[in-house]
Amino acid sequence: MILQRIDSRDFASIQDDPVRPELDMDFRLADGREVYGLYEGTALLAVICAAYVSQIPHTVAELGQWSLPLGTSVVFYTVWSYCRGAGRDIILAARERILEERPELEHVVTMSPKTQMARDFHLRNGAKLISENEESLRPILNTTRSKRNKVTERRKQ
Q: How far apart are CA 50 and CA 111, in angstroms?
A: 10
- What's the CA gap between 148 and 38, in Å, rounded? 19
What is the Cα–Cα distance from 110 to 55, expressed in whole angstroms?
Answer: 13
Q: Domain 2-156, what fold?
A: Aminopeptidase (3.40.630)
With a CB cutoff of 8 Å and minimum separation 6, the contacts of 117 are none
CA atoms within 13 A on the CB side of 74: 27
The Cα–Cα gap between 117 and 6 comes to: 27
Q: Are 35 and 74 in contact (CB under 8 A)?
A: no
| DSSP letter (8 states) at residue 146 | H
Q: Quick one: pLDDT at residue 129?
A: 64
SS3 34: strand
Which pLDDT tens digit goes with each residue over 105-155?
A: 988 888 776 666 666 666 666 666 655 656 655 545 554 433 444 444 444
Degrees to nearest 5, angle at CA 5 with 4 and 6: 110
Domain ranges of the chain: 2-156
Spatial CA neighbour of 127 closest among 137, 146, 141, 108? 141
Phi–psi pair at 97, nearest 5 degrees: -60, -50
Statement: residue 77 has pLDDT above 50: yes
The pLDDT of 17-29, averaged and rounded, is 89
CA–CA dist 18, 81 (Å, integer): 10
Single pTM value for the model: 0.78
